[in-house]
Chain A
Amino acid sequence: MPIFKKPDFRSESKKRDMPEGLFQKCPGCGEVIHHLALAENQRICPKCDFHFSQTARERLEHLLDPESFEEHDAQMVSVDTLKFKGMATYTDRLKTYQKKTGLKDAVITGTGKIEALPVAIAVMDFNFIAATMGSVVGEKLARIVETGTSERLPVIIISASGGARMYEGALSLMQMAKTCGALALHAQAKLPYISILTHPTTGGVSASFATVGDVILAEPKAMIGFAGPRVIRETTHQDLPPNFQTAEFLEEHGLIDMIVHRKKMRSTIADLLKYLAPKK
């Protein structure tokens, strides 16, 4: 029996160098980035400009003038109207995600200022059940758009979503009509709506409020589409074109106005609003 136990350098050093969650590997270039470095850079890879996902709070912090945000309907929560029985109940899912994200549901709405210009703004958070749209998302969006109409404010919606929320059945589907309806009245009042598409914006969200903006902006490489690529491949037995359903593909096909780097988003919105916002 040896007097000294052979120290296990390998596992030791691994643990010291890569504490879980502190580092992230960039899907764009493979670079390993510390989470603080990433946070400091608005969650953009410093090496290749890959845009990592951001929480709704992070986005609001970077887009709005400091201290200008006033949140609306912060306490609104989803209810399990259908008593949905799947492998997990809807109530359980909601609780899990509320705990995990600290959010009540998948969108934060309110009023704020961008370079001193007042706006009504909504930001979806993909971390909450893939930012699917149920009654709460639909209702909060409809309300903030109505606030925009009554207070004559431009509306900014930053989308990211897996689509409609299945757990609420057709109630979710009708949120598409509800949000587009609110935007129709906002448009009739000749007020601007800027829609910003981030990774990924799909399904019922892409087929409703996200694509009816007066101006539609997208973050680089964001996946944007109605049907998922797997469904399309299975239905059509067709090879998908390169870059299919990316922001770049949509721009190329004339479906969006422009791709905007995250660090330029705030100033781009402000520049657009200088043309489009109602004169005071």
Chain B
Amino acid sequence: MKLQPLDFEKPIFELERKLEDLKRHSRAQDINLDPEVKRMQAKIEEMKRETYDKLTAWQRVQIARHPQRPYTLDYFSSAFTDFIELHGDRLFGDDKAMPAGLATIGDHRCVVVGHQKGRELKENLKRNFGSAHPEGYRKALRMMRLGEKFGLPVIALIDTPGAYPGVGAEERHISEAIAVNLREMMVLKTPIISVVIGEGGSGGALGIGVADRVLMLENAYYSVISPEGCAAILWKHRSHAPEAAEALKLTARDLEELKLIDEVIPEPLGGAHQDHEQTATILKKTIVKHLKKLTEMPIEKLLAQRYAKFRKMGEFAGDVSKNGT
């Protein structure tokens, strides 16, 4: 599939198109235009560096939502091997927005879960645009319990605009499904690694995000509310989403600085969608590095560290009595 440029990438794509024209012209007319070609290539390189080195929060949100960005199932078959999909929450249905199962990464056999989006309309309808229902979160927890029982670590890939806001979701208690995951993941007796690979949309993201290591791809975002939603409330219009994105401090680097995530995973220049293979390789290397450490740790220590990590999150003042009265 041909890559579609995002708005801020258009000048780069335009120059690349001109470069192709120039090369074609040079070949067709048999004229030596090498100096021009070289100059243009250098210019494109420089332009890319300039653009991608200082992306705004809103530009990163757009990259995180890029339809050609690698999705959960792409990683299950690139960074992982031998994926066996297991279906259903054993209660209501099988949520296609949250595939799960068993897979191997490096030498580690794991339980894997993640949000899955679709690339075109039909696939998106099947995957519900990556917005899971309660049965998705309950399936995820069922799989995590498998991991706990059989001594397999859990890898959760986060990529959702948010849990689904619908009548059925409310009737089957989406709030409870997420809340129970938060509580149970905190005490699950096996290592958990969560990676925000694209969109980290609020409670729907956190519902599989309570982990010993929370990692984030460089251009992913993780936020309490979508920039559009925040803009609609605090600026009275969705068109202020770029300002809201900036204010919410939702980029990987921001969250690392706030100590809400553990590590930022770099992406290829221009974003993960430019090079799926390289992204999968970096992701795999990072996950394996953390798995090695986590699987060697005694479980009691692991759980104490997991709790302490989340317990520390939050900024406040006026704390005169450190411990109650």
Contacts and interface: CB of A to CB of B under 8 A. Distances in A.
Q: Do A and B bind each other?
A: yes
A71 B324 CA distance: 8
B166 A235 contact: yes
B236 interface: yes
Nearest to A186: B183
Given A164-B225, A204-B202, A235-B166, A177 B314 contact: no
Nearest to B209: A177
A225 B324 contact: no
Contacts of A111: 324-325
A176 B186 contact: no
B321 A72 contact: yes
A104 interface: yes
A166 B311 contact: no
Given A206-B175, A210-B179, A87 B235 contact: yes
B310 A174 contact: yes
A225 B90 CA distance: 24
Contacts of B250: 169-170
Contacts of B34: none
Contact of B314 (A175, A184, A211, A240): A175
Interface in B209-223: 209-210, 222-223
Interface string A160-204: 000011101111111111101111110110000000000000011
Contacts of A226: 163, 165, 169-170, 174-175, 178, 203
A144 B167 CA distance: 34
Contacts of B230: 166
B298 interface: no
A228 B49 CA distance: 42
B184 A184 contact: yes
B321 A176 contact: no
Interface in A131-165: 135-136, 138-139, 142-144, 147, 164-165
A139 B224 contact: no
Nearest to A187: B183
Interface in A74-115: 75-79, 81-82, 84-87, 104, 111
Interface centre among A147, A172, A176 (most CB of B within 10 A): A176
A82 B163 CA distance: 25
Interface residues of B, number: 59
A185 B179 contact: no
A7 interface: no
Contacts of B167: 232, 236, 238, 240-241, 244
A72 to B, nearest CB: 5
A209 interface: yes
B176 interface: yes
B248 A166 contact: yes
A245 B170 contact: yes
Contact of A86 (B247, B321, B324): B247
Interface centre among A143, A169, A211, A226 (most CB of B within 10 A): A226
Contacts of A244: 167, 170
A73 interface: yes
A236 B133 CA distance: 13
Interface in B143-169: 163-167, 169
Interface centre among B209, B248, B250 (most CB of A within 10 A): B248
A61 interface: no
Contact of A204 (B203, B236, B311, B319): B203
B315 to A, nearest CB: 4
A258 interface: no
Contact of B248 (A82, A206, A231, A245): A82
A135 B210 CA distance: 17
A108 B173 CA distance: 27
Contacts of A58: none
A86 B320 CA distance: 30
Contact of B182 (A78, A87, A144, A176): A176
A255 interface: yes
Contacts of A260: none
Contacts of A231: 165
Nearest to A71: B325
A163 to B, nearest CB: 8
A176 B178 CA distance: 10
A87 B244 CA distance: 11
Interface of A: 70-73, 75-79, 81-82, 84-87, 104, 111, 135-136, 138-139, 142-144, 147, 164-166, 168-178, 180-185, 187-188, 203-204, 206-212, 225-228, 231-232, 235-236, 238, 240-241, 244-245, 253, 255
User: Nearest 8 A-B pairs (CB), nearest first?
Assistant: A227-B165, A135-B314, A180-B182, A181-B186, A206-B175, A86-B234, A174-B313, A180-B183
Given A79-B317, A174-B206, A232-B165, 11 more contacts: A72-B324, A76-B316, A78-B316, A79-B316, A135-B314, A170-B223, A170-B250, A170-B258, A176-B182, A184-B184, A211-B175
25 contacts: A76-B316, A77-B316, A77-B317, A86-B243, A87-B236, A166-B234, A166-B248, A168-B224, A169-B248, A170-B250, A170-B255, A170-B260, A171-B258, A171-B313, A178-B314, A184-B186, A187-B183, A207-B163, A209-B179, A225-B170, A226-B163, A226-B170, A232-B165, A235-B165, A244-B167
